Amino acid sequence: MDTLHFLISLFLFSCFLSLVLPFSPPQTHLPKQCLDDQRAHLLQLQHHLYYAPNFTFSSKFDLWDVNTDCCSWEGVTCDAYGHVVGIDLSYKNLSGSFHSIFDLHRLQRLNLAGNNFNTTLFSYGFDKLQNLTHLNLSSSCFHGQIPMKISHLTRLVSLDLSCQGDYCWRNGYDYNSATLKLEKPNFKTFIKNLKFLTELYLDSVDISTQSAKWCETTSLVLFNLRVLSLSNCGLKGPLCSSLSRLSFLSKLILDGNPISYLPPNFLEISSRLVSLSLWGCNLNGHFPTGILLLPKIQSIDISFNHQLMSQLPEFPANNALLRLSLHDTNFSGKLPESIGNLKFLTNLDLYYCNFFGPIPSSIANLSHLVNLDLSSNKLSGSIHSSLFTLPSLKTLSLGENQLVGKIDEFPNASSSSIERLYIGNNYLTGPIPKSILQLPWLEQLNIGDNSFSFMKRDMFVQLNNLRTLGLNNISLLIESDNRSLPFPQLETLRLRSCNLTEFPEFIKRQDKLVGLDLSNNHIHGFVPNWLWKSSLSWVDLSFNVIDFPKRLPLNDANISIPMLKVLGLDSCNISAFPEFLKSQKNLVKFDASYNNLSGPISNWLCNMSQLSIFGASNNNLSDPIPNCLDNMSQLGSFDVSHNNLSDPIPNCLGNMSALSWLGLQGNNFSGVIPKFSKATQLQFLEVSENRLEGKLPRSLAKCTQLMVLDVGSNMINDTFPFWLEKLPALQVLILRENRFYGQIKHFKHKSVFPTLDVLDIASNQFSGELSIDFLQPTRLRSLKIGGNKLEGKLSRSLANCTALEVLDLGNNMVHDTFPFWLEKLPSLKVLVLRANRFYGTISKIDTKRGFPKLRILDIASNNFSGDLSIEFLQSLKAMAKMTNDEKAKLDYIGETYYQDSVTIDNKGIEMFYQKVLTILTCLDLSNNSFHGRIPEEIQMLRSLRVMNLSNNGFSGEIPFAFENLKDIESLDLSRNKLSGKILAQLTSLTFLAALNLSYNQLEGSIPQSNQFITFTNDSVGAVTETNRFSADLLSKSRDLLSKQKNSGKRKEEKLRKMKGEIDEQTKTSFIG
């Protein structure tokens, strides 16, 4: 069947060629001379065209000499009879009108690509060009509907209407207004007559109206296609199996379309491919590695598909691959030694994957390799010096891996072609090889963030072509200024964390410097004026102790760095904005957060019309925000959080169309939140910790890009904002600590808030039964509803929230049994049920499933009763064992944009943790009616840091098992019925900083070793209160402490210091 289909296609195509060829007689047998009518049409075309640099009609198009034969004119091709059959005016930067072309009826090839017409395509005229076989109007700033007349050009073999938006965006036009689309006609109607097409390029043409049908349509109509390029067309997947009908297809480009996954027969579809590009298609699942082994395949780019998994296969000899890009995918495993069989490979890009293991030595066999990028993986072992000797290599990028050891010297450095070398962010040691510092064509060098020994400035004297140098985190010895010592003229210099104590004076002579990073050093003093080169575009001086003159000298009063766009001054201890900022009209990004800035935000800020990002958080700024900010039309991020700013939030902030981030939290703003009627690009709105009141502005429902809305800790008086339910991007909604009231119940009984991850409505006045049926259960990660007046039973819908990590509903009136049905939630880490009306025993626990990740469980102040069951303890698997890697990792619960907080009883004090480290483990069963013996199985919870069993009815002796809780820092067993002695083994718990055994029936002696000696009288009181210890022994213990105080103050100070260090470690461990 496939053979018959192929033969029919070949026959039809041959017939087409027989029709086309008569219109193209041989040009070698007859003299060609321009016909008068053809000449006239071309001159008419020239009259209506203009050169358009910078998009102004600056000069007429005068490429052609009117005194010569028009068939000899540049870009003009004639047949043997003087008819114009080809026009190529590509990339001339032309504007104007080309309607005269439609009078050239014999035209077969028309190429107007790469111009600036900035108009819609003519709806007439194209149908006059019936002989046209090749049409290229790409990258010429056309927009609007593609005219139906083009689809009447039935002889077309190649059609290119691609990249209108992309080209115009790079040249200054608005991207959204410079896009072609296929609506009327749609894609199916447009291509139905173009059956002879072999090449179709419609990149960035909007075909979304037929986004799901394009694949079937293409394979049914365009069966002669060899090249299909439909990048960024709004197409949807998956790819259809019928693409296998395109038996001639050799090049398939579908970048930037959400195809999602590939059909089962994709390997069959790809069998004839030479080039495949599926860049950024949201592909997931397993990529068929057989495609990498196809005999004809030369180029594969499947980059930016984060969820796409696979491993590299074993490559046979003489594989045809030239280019392979897996950039930012989830490919993993070891790199095979057989990668050395890719003899023709020129580009290998494996950046930001999950490959591990050593770099194969066989890569040294790839003599044609030009670009090699293995950075941002988990590669280990050493770097083979043979990589530096690859004869064609220009780019070598191995940064951000786990590479170790020294780099050996390599021969023939002077003949190397390497221009760009990146080996930063590894664990490399020893001196920098001299060979690297002798690479003659080296332009970019980044060796920072390793463990190399110190470097000196004279080491770079041979690198005459060096333009970019990164030495971050390497000690740099700067000798006294030596003008005779040559140094390359750099464009970018990165010296972060280089232990510098002053501004390097060799920068004085760096006249071409564009970017400079001196952050996180030990530089003190005033910033010298010579630092501000006129060529500078970005400067980062953050994390130093620097200052600027209060007033500039008279000759520097108008200092200006005209190219400066980015300036970083965060954490610099400055107390005022630098004076020279007043004249910086082109600044795009400015950050002066975490300083000592005080006073008002001056009006000169409003003169920075190009400013896109302004950061001045965590200072002492005061007074209102200036109203003139509405002059800053480019402002996208404005963060002045945690200052002393006051008065109402200015209305102008709600009218800024480019604003995406507004950070105003932690100030003294009052009044109501302004309307955001024009700030439709807003993504982050953070106004918490102020004195705002009134209602939430309903205009927020128009902010369709909104991701985070935080209005916590104000005085807002409103009901639950169900009117935000349709916001397609909202992920975090924080209403905590306000005056919200009423029931939380969606009466339409449907799921809304499609992307909500975090809902925090704690400490308000919500009432009634809790219902979460309006939320998408598989999205919800954190739910905090504590401190309200919610009642009834706990919603069973919570069992469907499979992504839930934090559930806090403490301090309500929920009346229910223990929610053992939550044990199946695979990600639950924090469960707070304290101060409700829960009751009954805790016994129906599935020990095999359990709570696999639960680290904080607080069920204090309820009515739970019964024994502390062994099954319950066995279910707390995450409290039982924590690896050393997990302990060493200072991660917080939550995402970067929102990190969870929690309040727990620790060391007898209610502590609020602004961030919760994943190593914090806590079990609080206090203030209930548990009874019986504390089971020895308590020792299973070896990773516990905080345990509170106080105010229950536990009896019997303190279990020996407590000695196995080596990480415990706070233990409260007070107000129970415990008897017997205090175990001497408790003194082995060296992290124990708080112990409360008061109000029990304990007797005997108090252990007198290790940290028990360091407990204060209050601690001893806490241990001994209402217990029956020997009066003599207690007196001796206190006498011993008294003698130690009188005779050994130094020892006591040392012990107190030890305890203080333990407390400080505790704070450091738990409070981020």
**Inter-residue contact 146 to 179 (CB < 8 Å):** no
Between 909 and 302, the higher pLDDT residue: 302
What are the tens digits of pLDDT across the range 309-366?
A: 999 999 999 889 999 999 999 999 999 999 999 999 999 999 999 999 999 999 999 9
Asked if residues 708 and 760 have their Cβ atoms less than 8 Å apart, the reply is no
| Site of tokens 């979304």 | 208
CB-CB contact of 106 with 128 (8 Å): no
Tens of pLDDT, residue by residue over 106-158, are 999 999 999 988 888 887 889 999 999 999 999 998 988 999 999 999 999 99
In this prediction, residues 898-909 reach a mean pLDDT of: 65
Model pLDDT for residues 474-485, shown as the tens digit of each residue: 988 776 556 667
Tens digit of each residue's pLDDT (9 = 90 or more) over 621-664: 999 999 888 889 999 999 999 999 999 999 999 999 999 999 99
Q: Residue 32 pLDDT > 70, yes or no?
A: no
Give the 3-state secondary structure of residue 516: strand
Nearest to 800 by CA among 834, 774, 767: 774
- Number of C-beta neighbours around residue 590 at 10 A: 23
Confidence of residue 888 (pLDDT cuts 50, 70, 90): very low
Q: For 767-805, b where at least 16 C-beta lie within 10 A, e where not — what string?
A: eeebbbebbbbebbbbbbbbbbebeeebbeebbbbebbb
CA distances 857 to 70, 232, 925, 997, Å, are 87, 48, 8, 21
The three-class DSSP label of residue 451 is: strand
**How distant, in Å, are the alpha carbons of 528, 736, 764, 771, 785 from that of 744?**
60, 14, 12, 7, 11
Domains located in the chain, CATH noted: 284-340+347-365+372-378 (3.80.10.10), 381-487 (3.80.10.10), 489-595 (3.80.10.10), 811-823+833-843+857-1025 (3.80.10.10)
* Three-state SS letters, 535-552: CCCEEECCCCEEECCCCC
| For range 452-472, the mean pLDDT | 91
Residue 582 and residue 606: Cα distance in Å, rounded? 10
Contact 80, 30 (CB under 8 A): yes
Region 846-864: mean pLDDT is 87
State the amino acid at position 902 in one-letter form: V
| Span 363-378, pLDDT tens digits | 999 999 999 999 999 9
- SS3 for 192? coil
Parallel/antiparallel/unpaired status of strands 524-526 and 545-547: parallel
Give Cα separations from 392 to 173, 396, 436 (angstroms): 39, 11, 16
Identify the residue with better confidence: 880 or 483: 880
Q: Report residue 172: phi and psi, to 5°.
A: 110, -5
- Give burial (CB, 10 Å; 0-12/13-18/19+) of 745: middle
Helix (H) or strand (E) holding 106: none
CB 689 within 8 A of CB 665: yes
Question: Given the structure tokens 């990590």, which residue do they identify?
Answer: 805
Residue 303 contacts residue 328 (beta carbons within 8 Å):
yes
- Judge whether residue 1018 has pLDDT over 80: no
Mean pLDDT, rounded, of the chain: 86
Strands 839-840 and 863-866: parallel
1069 confidence band (pLDDT: 50, 70, 90): very low
Instruction: Determine if the pTM surpasses 0.85.
Output: no
The answer to whether 606 and 579 have CB atoms below 8 angstroms apart is: no
Return the pLDDT at 1062: 32
List beta partners, residue 538.
515, 566
**Per-residue pLDDT, 184:** 82
> Which pairs with CB-CB distance under 8 Å and at least 24 residues apart come from 282-285?
282/258, 282/307, 283/259, 283/307, 283/308, 284/260, 284/308, 284/309, 285/261, 285/309
What's the pLDDT band for 590 if we cut at 50, 70, 90?
Answer: very high
Among candidate residues 229, 248, 87, 259, the one with its CA nearest the CA of residue 161:
229
CA distance 643 to 625: 11
CB 630: neighbour CB atoms within 10 A?
A: 17
State how far the Cα of 285 lies from the Cα of 80, in Å rounded to an integer. 57
Q: CA–CA separation, 78 vs 76, rounded Å? A: 7
- How many C-alpha atoms does 676 have within 13 Å on its Cβ side? 27
Question: Does pLDDT of 1058 surpass 80?
Answer: no
Distance between CA atoms of residues 733 and 775, nearest Å: 12
State percent of the chain over pLDDT 90.
Answer: 62
Give the list of residues 6+ apart from residue 518 with CB closer than 8 angstroms, or none: 495, 496, 500, 503, 540, 541, 544
Interatomic CA distance for residues 1023 and 423, integer angstroms:
58
Q: Rounded to 5 degrees, what are φ and ψ at 13?
A: -65, -35
Burial of 1057 (0-12, 13-18, 19+ CB in 10 A): exposed
Instruction: Determine if residue 544 is left, alpha or beta; phi over 0 gives left, psi from -120 to 50 gives alpha, anything else beta.
Output: beta
Cα distance between residue 744 and residue 726, in whole Å: 17
Those residues whose C-beta lies under 8 Å from the C-beta of residue 594, and which sit 6 or more positions away, are: 570, 571, 617, 618, 619
Q: How confident is the model at residue 455 (pLDDT cuts 50, 70, 90)?
A: confident
**Rounded Cα gap, residues 418 and 411, in angstroms:** 14
pLDDT band at residue 799 under the 50/70/90 scheme: very high
Q: Residues 6 or more apart from 17 whose CB is under 8 A from it?
A: none
Least confident of 167-181, 525-539, 702-716: 167-181
Other CB atoms within 10 A of residue 129 CB = 24
Pairwise CA distance, residues 161 & 143, whole Å: 10
